[in-house]
Amino acid sequence: MKIKKAVVTAAGRGQRALPLQTLVDRDGQVKSALQIIVEEALSAEVDEIAIVLTPGQQVAYGAAAGPHRRMLQLIEQPSPVGYAHALYCARDFVGGEAFLHLVSDHLYISTGPQRCAQQLVELAKAESCSVSAVQATRESMLPYYGAIGGRRVAKQNRVYEIETILEKPTPTEAEQSLVIPGLRAGHYLCFFGMHVLTPGVMELLGELVNKQPGLPLSAALDALARKERYLAIEVQGRRHNIGVKYGLLMAQLALALDGGEREEVLAQLVDLLAARERDQK
């Protein structure tokens, strides 16, 4: 299975401005969140990237893409009718091919030798099926994510066969349907904000958005899991949701601590904490 295209969705009501925020990346360069996300996709060796955005955002997003502007296709979602519809807007760009999908309000930091997108794409190519990245997430964060239920795949570390998907489940729903043996108590496998999806997902999206606009993407992914083989992988890395309270701050700290100036940043944090401690005495 070849994966040469990526789609980044950025049309959500509370999401539009987030990719335009600037941070200092691991290489010490100031970049927009969008540019960091695009470079994550490029690490997986895709050739084309589409950004789904709201009308009137093309100039701002083109500028935020920095040196990657020429390789991007900007696709408008005409009206804000949900995440699933936003991804469906990229159906002509995707054509009949499998594709990498990332959300624009998450930044990803690998804790292994490969970038997170590389790990995901590598498994999808090896297994020739859809694969979603997941992360063990504490119960209190369930209101922010879709979550999976399923079973571990024998002899494959951190890989799961997806059986069911729920969008932002309650703790009771998660306990009833999403418990996976081996995870810490009170933790569930929630989406990482990164997927490789087969062309079949666009067919399902078409059926769903025509019947009920505004449905979450998880509804289509749950249908996909019932139709064809669909895996999840706990990637070696962490996601940072820049759309939650202190999300940008935590993402910036994570990028800084993963970069070449880690010791300097740590020293400044220690100084800041020490000064605060002195001031409170």
Q: For the chain, 281 residues long, give each residue's pLDDT as a single digit of tens.
A: 899 999 999 987 777 899 999 999 999 999 999 999 999 999 999 999 999 999 999 999 999 999 999 999 999 999 888 899 999 999 999 999 999 999 999 999 999 999 999 999 999 999 999 999 999 999 999 998 999 999 999 888 899 999 999 999 999 999 999 988 888 889 999 999 999 999 999 999 999 888 887 888 999 999 999 999 999 999 999 999 999 899 999 999 999 999 999 999 999 999 988 888 888 87
Alpha carbon 67 to chain centroid distance?
22
Query: What pLDDT, on the 0 to 100 scale, is given for residue 203?
Result: 94
Q: Indicate whether 84 belongs to any domain.
A: yes
Spell out where 105-260 has E strands: 106-110, 130-138, 146-152, 159-167, 187-197, 230-234, 237-241
Tell me the two tokens of residue 139. Answer: 């119960």
Q: Indicate whether 75 belongs to any domain.
A: yes
Q: The domain containing residue 123 runs over which residues?
A: 5-127+192-212+233-279
Is the CB of residue 214 less than 8 Å from the CB of residue 145? no
Q: Indicate whether 132 belongs to any domain.
A: no
Query: What pLDDT, on the 0 to 100 scale, is given for residue 11?
Result: 81
Could you identify the residue written with the tokens 């295209």?
A: 5
Query: What pLDDT, on the 0 to 100 scale, is given for residue 279?
Result: 83
Q: Indicate whether 207 belongs to any domain.
A: yes
Q: What's the CA gap between 16 and 61, in Å, rounded?
A: 10
CB-based contacts of 110, cutoff 8 Å, min separation 6: 116, 119, 235, 236, 237
Is the CB of residue 13 less than 8 Å from the CB of residue 82? no
The pTM assigned to this predicted structure is 0.92
Q: Indicate whether 137 belongs to any domain.
A: no
Q: Which amino acid is at 132?
A: S
Q: Indicate whether 160 belongs to any domain.
A: no
Q: Indicate whether 164 belongs to any domain.
A: no
Q: What is the DSSP string of 65-97?
A: TGGGGGGEEEEE-SS---HHHHHHTTHHHHTTS
For residue 259, the 8-state DSSP code is: S
CATH of the domain at 34: 3.90.550.10
Q: Provide the domain count of the chain.
A: 1
Q: Indicate whether 73 belongs to any domain.
A: yes
Query: What pLDDT, on the 0 to 100 scale, is given for residue 65?
Result: 95
Closest CA to 209 of 100, 48, 90, 129: 90
Could you identify the residue written with the tokens 């505004």?
A: 214
Is the CB of residue 38 less than 8 Å from the CB of residue 65? yes
